[in-house]
Amino acid sequence: EGNSGVAILPTSLPQLHRANMLSSGLLQNSNIHPLVSKKSKTKWHFGIRSRSYPLDVMGEIYIALKNLGAEWAKPSEEDLWTIRVRWKYSGSNQIANNEANNSQNQNNEKIPDLLKIVIQLFQIETNNYLVDFKFDGWEDSSGAPVTPSDITSDEISAFSAYPFLHLTTRLIMELAVNS
């Protein structure tokens, strides 16, 4: 390649600009500070952690689910620490209304409106628990089957996580507010 004329304008570098502003006397407002460039990296956790007594945690979750109008399957004796939730997703009505009143879209397909989530309590160590949330598919309030029979869940290649993420924020808010 021949010599390239591409360059970075030295006076546009923040440190040099600030020095030039100070030396040129153009600075009237001296308490303008640069944005912090070191961003604290987001620390991620699985689910939400709790140090409360396990049964209290489960109780708070059931109360929050009830306040949010969700329903759940009666837990089995041997598995008290898992809650199978079903949640009517309001967004779907909106979509149904947008596309057609009887909650069918143009190609006459059902728009499932019951989002299923599995909430499970895990013990990480003594007095340290983790509440895990897992998406568990959709159901239709009319009971009609949802997943098109010819597609296995492995083959599904376009899945929207937003309804699941939205409902978990609602639940986490409810738990945060209640606690």
Chain positions 106 to 125 lying near another protein, rule: CB under 8 A, are 109, 111-112
The binder of another protein chosen from 63, 73, 173, 179 (CB under 8 A): 173
Quick check: 14 binds another protein (CB under 8 A)? yes
Site for another protein in 82-101 (CB under 8 A): 89-92, 94-95, 98-99
Quick check: 128 binds another protein (CB under 8 A)? no
DSSP 115-161: EEEEEEEEEEETTEEEEEEEEEEEE-TT----S-TT--TTT------
Quick check: 148 binds another protein (CB under 8 A)? yes
Site for another protein in 41-80 (CB under 8 A): 42-48
Looking at the Cβ atoms of 71 and 132, the one nearer to another protein is: 132
Asked if 59 and 50 count as a contact pair (C-beta separation under 8 A), the reply is: no
Cα–Cα distance for residue pair 86/70, rounded to 1 Å: 6
Cα–Cα distance for residue pair 66/175, rounded to 1 Å: 11
